[in-house]
Amino acid sequence: MNNNEKETEKNGIVLLRLTHLLLMFYTLSYAVAGLCHGIFDVRIVGYLPFDHSNTLYTPKGKAAWTTMVMSFLLFSIGTALYFPRLNNLWDYIVTISFLHIFISATGLPLCFLCFVHLLQKMLPFQCVFFLPFLSFIPSFLTLVSVMLSFPVSGLWWGTLIALVVLQLLFSRAVQFLVNKKFPLQTHVE
């Protein structure tokens, strides 16, 4: 195996780990969002994990903030349990945090929700016809343009920065505890 093939294999492993962790993060985010919908008695919206436009004075704002905090903290523990001996786990955590900021600031969650809504309208029998797609474009563009807003809330940014630091600390602490409790066996006893 030459160096080029080793580098390609290494990149594939990194991409696979990143994909696993992205799925874990957003699965946790939507699970926590589902709980927060019930706890704060707010209408179910699919973009709650990405919402940065509400204040803490509204139930929806409290639900969005709680979703963000709990998702990040549970994710830090989950990543350390999923990869207890990965030395560069901090790199994955920071990458996923930056991806979440990008998705939250660009309106991509609404693009995804609109795409899912479109598929629900088209399936199972209307896949052959593109008329539902054409009628959906104006509402799709309206939703995307509404969500395209950069987060300007100081509370949102402060919480996010604190959460990234806490994620790094929690994940390292959990890794340390797991490695201490279950040390790596190097020989057969």
pLDDT surpasses 70 at 156: yes
pTM of this prediction exceeds 0.75: no
Q: Which of 21-25, 113-117, 149-153 has the lowest mean pLDDT?
A: 113-117
Which residue, 120, 115, 167, 106, is CA-closest to 140?
115
Per-residue model confidence as pLDDT tens digits over 32-55:
988 998 899 988 777 777 777 777
CB atoms closer than 10 angstroms to residue 72:
25
Does the structure show a pLDDT above 60 at 141?
A: no
The top-scoring range by mean pLDDT among 78-82, 106-110, 113-117 is: 78-82
Residue 139 has pLDDT above 90, yes or no: no
pLDDT given at position 138: 45
CA distances, 165 to each of 51, 61, 86, 182 (Å) = 21, 23, 18, 26
- Output the pLDDT for position 80: 92
> Would you place residue 128 in the very low, low, confident or very high pLDDT band (cuts 50, 70, 90)?
very low
- CA-nearest of 67, 78, 58, 63 to 100 is 67
Would you say residue 110 has pLDDT above 80?
Answer: no
